[in-house]
Amino acid sequence: MGADADVAGRGVLARIGGTLSSLVFPVSERQRERRRIVVLCLPFLALLAFSGVFPLTEMFRISFSEARLTTEGFTLEYYRQLVVDPYYRTIAVNTLWFAAATTVASIAVAVPVAHSLEKYDLPGKSVMLTVLSFPNSLPGIVAAFMIIVLFGNTGIITNFIAALSGQSPIDLAIATSVLGLFFAYLYSMIPRALLLLRGTYAEVNTDAEEAARSLGASPLKTFWYVTLPQIKPGLIGAFVLVFRTALAIFGTILILKSLLVWTLQIDREIAQGFNIAQASAMATVWFVFVFAFTLLALKYTSAEVSI
């Protein structure tokens, strides 16, 4: 039995050695193609290892540590806290409902805008696209500051409404309220949904739309029965992208602080409580949830495309 295992082991090593030799010194076109593929994948694999696998593995290991600041022992206490403590459950609920609400609102705004940009020859379209996509290049902190400039105690819109209504600007200011945070999220997320949906609209079969209109369908019915099924995969893709963005936003919520969400609590665990293990447990749960959500959503998108 031991001799057979030894022979099998040497066979495996020989095959690995032969594969490596063919990659380094290819003699056929197929082997040269494999070498090109491996060389092209090396930067991605290095990036995956150093910015993905290694930090995630370390974070996962720390989340089970009995000590807060060092990796010692094994415990499930930090994960148990996330389940049984109503404080963390409230944070999870806040994160999910707010991310879902802002995602739906962002897509609801992006769809008609993308429709108008692709269907009509609007004047100054390139300028509009530049302005609409500009928030993609701004960090969340800048978006939060812009909301303060517009809706804060001394904000432009706040003081304009105060002058018309006679109310105090302090009573009208919403920058640091949940509504102000909602607008800040929309500012960052609508451009992302818009850029993805524009690409989807470019693939829409306009002949089918024209046929529906010629048969007497109204613009609304044409959109609902002809256009919407064609852009459905794009809508799902936009939902995935925007929802993940909403879950990951940190700079905006750090400045406005009107709602306690998952990313802000991770920062509090580290900055205020020096509880690295609890923060690691929260980050691990966040990663698993987002990864699983993305896999399921993309699988559903692929099924929609194949249908």
Report pLDDT for 305: 45
CATH node for 78-306:
1.10.3720.10
Residue 36: half-sphere exposure toward Cβ, Cα within 13 Å: 6
Report pLDDT for 121: 77
Report pLDDT for 28: 72
List the one residue out of 222, 246, 212 whose CA is nearest residue 104: 246
Domain with CATH 1.10.3720.10 in the chain: 78-306
Question: Are 197 and 114 spatial neighbours (Cβ–Cβ below 8 Å)?
Answer: yes
262 burial type by CB count under 10 A (0-12 exposed, 13-18 middle, 19+ buried): buried
Question: Are 10 and 4 spatial neighbours (Cβ–Cβ below 8 Å)?
Answer: no
Report pLDDT for 202: 76
Per-residue pLDDT of the chain (307 residues; tens, 9 = 90+): 555 555 455 555 556 655 666 666 666 777 677 777 777 878 888 887 877 788 888 888 888 887 766 677 788 889 999 999 999 999 999 999 999 999 999 999 998 888 888 777 777 777 877 777 777 777 888 888 989 999 988 889 999 998 888 888 888 888 889 999 999 999 889 998 988 888 888 777 777 877 888 878 887 888 888 888 888 888 888 898 899 999 989 889 988 888 999 999 998 888 877 888 889 999 999 999 998 988 887 776 665 544 4
Question: What CA dihedral angle connects 214, 215, 218 and 220, to 10 degrees?
Answer: -100
Q: How far is CA 287 from the centre of its chain?
A: 11
| Alpha-carbon gap, residue 157 to 151, rounded angstroms | 6
Report pLDDT for 231: 84
pTM for the predicted model, two decimal places: 0.79
